[in-house]
């Protein structure tokens, strides 16, 4: 519990209440539930990224005229937080990172179609690299594309239908599949898609990992 507390904001605390851990958020001024929940949710999303523990915080009660909010979650008593790396520190937040972590969490919800997972994960990459010039062109189908460009081509492949443009035609040739977009009824496509999902996931994961605040060594 001490390790978990040390990576949360200084105004967050974990208390034991009726055999469960309760997350307490203390504020200088009275705030409504939605404002406080924004800060709680982003910490839960970060913990999910770091540990794989899915958290679903629920408001338990509000005290001290709106200055203290208490949240409950069974996830707070699991052993998963033992997987927190020792070098993780309190996070220096940006709105972009808050968005990226939420997209990461959404992409890992159960029973999502793989095409939806890829789109959500690529949005993490796109938030980091919004300029199309940051995706090197893919000119030769017999050479490995740049990882970021490949992630974009995979996203395009699963999220569109209709006319296939030149770079995607080359990528289909690179994958050794017929020119066209992702067809979930095609067994060859279904065999390829787990590997392609993993490529997009690795690129998105690297972006978020680089944004994690870590202790100085």
* pLDDT means over runs of 10, the chain (217 residues): 81 79 83 86 93 84 83 61 82 97 96 97 98 96 96 96 91 94 94 97 98 87
In a domain, residue 216? The reply is: no
How many domains is the chain partitioned into structurally?
2
In which domain, by residue range, is 167 found? Answer: 95-211
Rounded CA gap, 102 and 52, in Å? 13
Half-sphere exposure of 93 (CA within 13 A, CB side): 16
- 62 with 103, same domain: the answer is no
- 106 with 79, same domain: the answer is no
- 66 with 105, same domain: the answer is no
Cα-to-chain-centroid distance, residue 10: 24
The domain boundary residue, chosen from 60, 83, 106:
83
**What pLDDT score does 135 carry?**
97
In a domain, residue 217? The reply is: no
Strand partners, 214: 88
Rounded CA gap, 203 and 194, in Å? 15
- 67 with 151, same domain: the answer is no
- 103 with 162, same domain: the answer is yes
- Answer whether 62's CB lies under 8 Å from 12's CB: no
pTM for the full predicted model: 0.91
Q: In what order do the strands lie in the sheet with 12-17?
A: 12-17, 20-26, 68-72, 58-63
- 79 with 106, same domain: the answer is no
DSSP per-residue letters across 41-70: HHHHHHHHHHH------EEEEEEGGGTEEE
């Amino acid at each position: 519990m001490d390790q978990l507390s040390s990576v949360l904001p200084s105004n967050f605390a974990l208390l034991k209440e009726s055999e469960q851990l309760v997350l307490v958020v203390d504020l200088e001024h009275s705030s409504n539930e939605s404002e406080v929940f924004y800060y709680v949710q982003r910490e839960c999303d970060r913990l999910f990224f770091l540990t794989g523990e899915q958290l679903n915080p629920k408001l338990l009660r509000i005290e001290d005229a709106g200055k203290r909010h208490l949240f409950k979650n069974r996830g707070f008593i699991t052993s998963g937080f033992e997987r927190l790396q020792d070098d993780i520190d309190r996070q220096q937040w940006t709105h972009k990172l808050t968005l990226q972590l939420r997209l990461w969490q959404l992409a890992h919800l159960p029973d999502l179609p793989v095409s939806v997972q890829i789109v959500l994960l690529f949005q993490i990459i796109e938030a980091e690299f919004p300029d199309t010039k940051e995706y090197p062109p893919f000119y030769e189908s017999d050479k490995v594309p740049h990882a970021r460009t490949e992630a974009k081509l995979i996203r395009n492949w699963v999220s569109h239908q209709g006319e296939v443009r030149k770079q995607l035609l080359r990528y289909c040739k690179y994958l050794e599949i017929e020119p066209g977009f992702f067809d979930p009824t095609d067994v060859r496509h279904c065999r390829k898609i787990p590997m392609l999902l993993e490529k997009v996931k690795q690129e998105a994961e690297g972006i978020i990992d680089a944004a994690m605040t870590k202790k100085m060594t």
